[in-house]
Amino acid sequence: MTAALAIARREFAAYFRTPLGWVVIALYLALSGVVFALAVLAPAAPASMRPFFGLSGWVLLFVAPAVSMRLISDEIRSGTIEPLMTAPVSDWAVMAGKLAAALAFLVALLAPTGVYVAVLERVSDPDLGPVLAGYLGLALAGALYLSVGAFFSTLTGSQTLAYLGALFTLLLVRLATGEGVAGRAPDAVADALYAVSLDRRLGAFAAGVVDTADASFFVVASAWLYVLSVIALQSRRWR
Amino acid sequence: MHSTADIPAPDAIAADGLHKRFGAVRAVRGVSLTVARGEIVGLLGPNGAGKSTTMRMLAGFLPPDEGRVRIGGFDTLSDSIEARRRIGYLPESTPLYPEMTVAGLLEFRARLAGVPRRRRADAIGRAIERCWLGEVARRRVGTLSKGYRQRVGLAAAILHDPPALLLDEPTNGLDPAQISAMRGLMRDLAADRALVVSSHILAEVEKTCGRVVVIAGGRVRADGPIGALARAGEAACLIEVRIGPGDADDLTRALASLAGVSRAAPVGLEANGSPWRRWRLEGGPDARGLAERAGALLASRGVPLRELRPEEPTLERAFLDLIGRPEDKDDPA
């Protein structure tokens, strides 16, 4: 536990000691700020954060793998994986610490957007329920995206490869299970695709509907990726 | 004297029949090694001999294809965490997190190594003092010179006071003063620890290690005290005698036929106007008494002798001889 916490703290601090963390936060806030100003604060628009959540659901798909691509890849490339994996710490604790740091960074990334909610609160009267639900959806989907990036990062010492692997996997899943593809597929296939549809579940959260099935989908999928990552990390000991 | 409490403690490091291959390359082929506390063992071999692969297997970073490693009696695979608690490992090229400060990095590594909270500050302070890091404790690791980084790596490896220390090329890239300081530190650390130091530099090992294990081609070529290894080298002797014209070939033949001589050859220039000529005799590893036999031969032939000098076998020659030995042809793939 001490070790996992130590890893999480080191990793989280590393985001802010290297330009990566600041750049990611700045770019995300700039982009989401534009959407907030143009779509949410638009004249006659409903007092709702939905456009912001819709955009963020997509932006996180690109941003989260960039946050987690370095988790293991960087250790492999720099060789620090040697002291890390010869320390008396289980691979479960190593991966848990790494993911916890990435999740904490995700929270740090989303936290400043609370300002948007405060602004919207000043100019109109939004319903806070759907706002909280939307944030919950973003955090859950973000966790899944991070886990995909973390998994790919255990496979290679190249952060670029880890990022691309995660991004293309996420794009494929999101597009294949979205309305565009699943909607045209035969019924049996469509049902299966809808069952793992990220769009549908994220849309429900953004609309203010918190369904335990949707929430557990993201949690369980992230947990599975955590297990896969640990196995991939352990497999370095068999090779 | 012996009670049941006197069961001998297991060897700090015990490796048995280690094999490792990477694709078609058989990096390590049957390395066995035991190291007790208080011993400094030099793992010596040319580049690519399998030193780092062996070190990684000892540290539990790489699993051996065959064989096993036990640290303080704990298997690095089946009892991995317990074994890792007892290892301090400085990997080759000293990988560290460049964005951390020295103190921050040591704090992190102490937590990772499971040093209890109340002993942490103490352990870090001691490591900083031992490795002379006091003046750079607040600096970022990435801004340090190679010598300092090496010392940070070493400090991080000894934080949890491990009984087994594995240092992979610890003096690589250090200047002579730093190498000398590192040597003193290693001797100091080995007082109550088992220490394995790898190097491809002979002089390095000769000065620090009581025992040398020579590795080449993934195999152990020699394992023993420095002195014994040196004695295993070829003996040789140099003679300088006065001979008449035309006697040279005859004398060469006579010297070459002496017992224990593997090669006899004249050395130096022939036509320098001086009647004194030198020969060099080389014997195999067991050529004791080479100089005496050569002296007796010359005396019996009445050849005037001006110099008879046995050459001490050196570690360097023993080393070159060991690593130059052709690989066994008949080993199974």
CA distance A97 to chain B (A): 11
Specify the length of chain B in residues: 333
Measure CB to CB from residue B84 to each of A81, A87, A238 and give the nearest one.
A87
Delimit the domains of chain B by residue range.
13-86+162-231, 235-312
Q: Do A88 and B81 touch (CB under 8 A)?
A: yes
Q: Which DSSP string do the residues of B276-305 spell out, in sequence order?
A: EEEEEEEE-TT-TTHHHHHHHHHHHHT--E
When pLDDT is averaged across residues A19-38 and rounded to a whole number, the result is 91
The pLDDT value given to residue B332: 40
The pLDDT value given to residue B124: 96
According to DSSP, the residues that pair with B164 across neighbouring strands are: B87, B194
Q: Does B91 contact chain A (CB < 8 Å)?
A: yes
CA distance A218 to chain B (A): 30
Q: Give the best residue of B97, B118, B119, B143 to mutate against chain A (max A CB count within 10 A).
A: B97
Contact B82, B10 (CB under 8 A): no
Q: Do B96 and A5 touch (CB under 8 A)?
A: no
CA distance A10 to chain B (A): 7
Q: Does B74 contact chain A (CB < 8 Å)?
A: no
Q: Which of residues 16-55 of A touch B (CB under 8 A)?
A: 17-18
Class of domain B13-86+162-231: alpha beta
Q: Do A83 and B82 touch (CB under 8 A)?
A: no
Give the whole-number percent of chain A exceeding pLDDT 70: 99
Under 8 Å CB-to-CB from A197, ≥6 apart: which residues? A177, A178, A182
CA distance A208 to chain B (A): 42
Q: Do A3 and B112 touch (CB under 8 A)?
A: yes
Q: Do A80 and B109 touch (CB under 8 A)?
A: no
Q: What is the pLDDT of residues A186-227, one digit of tens each?
A: 888 888 888 788 888 888 888 888 889 899 999 999 999 999
Longest dimension (CA), chain A: 62
φ, ψ of residue B276 in degrees (nearest 5): -80, 130
What residues of chain A lie within 8 A of the CB of B114, using their CB? 2-3, 88-89
Measure CB to CB from residue B91 to each of A6, A79, A238 and give the nearest one.
A79
Q: Do A89 and B156 touch (CB under 8 A)?
A: no
What residues of chain B lie within 8 A of the CB of A97, using their CB? none
Residue of chain A whose Cα is closest to the Cα of B22: A239
* Residue B246 Cα distances to B243, B249, B251, angstroms: 8, 7, 10
Give the whole-number percent of chain B exceeding pLDDT 90: 41
Separation of alpha carbons B194 and B130, rounded Å = 18
pTM of the model: 0.82
More confident residue, B4 or A32: A32
The pLDDT value given to residue B3: 47
The pLDDT value given to residue A185: 79
What residues of chain A lie within 8 A of the CB of B111, using their CB? 2-3, 5-6
Class of domain B235-312: alpha beta
Q: Which of residues 272-311 of B touch A (CB under 8 A)?
A: none
Q: Which DSSP string do the residues of B64-82 spell out, in sequence order?
A: -SEEEEEETTEETTTTHHH
Contact A156, A162 (CB under 8 A): yes
Q: What is the pLDDT of residues B59-95, one digit of tens each?
A: 999 999 999 999 999 999 999 999 999 999 999 989 9
Contact B40, B208 (CB under 8 A): yes
Q: Do B97 and A237 touch (CB under 8 A)?
A: no
What residues of chain B lie within 8 A of the CB of A88, using their CB? 81-82, 84-85, 112-114
Tell me the count of A-B CB pairs closer than 8 A: 71
Please return the burial class of B125, using the count of CB atoms within 10 Å of its CB with bins 0-12, 13-18 and 19+.
Answer: middle
Q: What is the dihedral of CA B109, B112, B114, B115, to 10 degrees?
A: 20
Residues of chain B with pLDDT under 50: 1-4, 326-333
Q: Do B85 and A79 touch (CB under 8 A)?
A: no
For chain B, count helices (H), then strands (E): 11, 14
Q: Do A10 and B100 touch (CB under 8 A)?
A: yes
Q: Give the best residue of A77, A85, A86 to mutate against chain B (max B CB count within 10 A).
A: A86
Delimit the domains of chain A by residue range.
2-238
Q: Does A1 contact chain B (CB < 8 Å)?
A: no
The pLDDT value given to residue B155: 95
Q: Do A90 and B59 touch (CB under 8 A)?
A: no
Q: Which among A2, A63, A65 has a CA at the least distance from the CA of A32?
A: A63
What ipTM did this prediction achieve?
Answer: 0.89
Q: How confident is the model at residue A42 (pLDDT cuts 50, 70, 90)?
A: confident
Separation of alpha carbons B212 and B203, rounded Å = 12
The pLDDT value given to residue A188: 81
- pLDDT of A182 higher than 70: yes
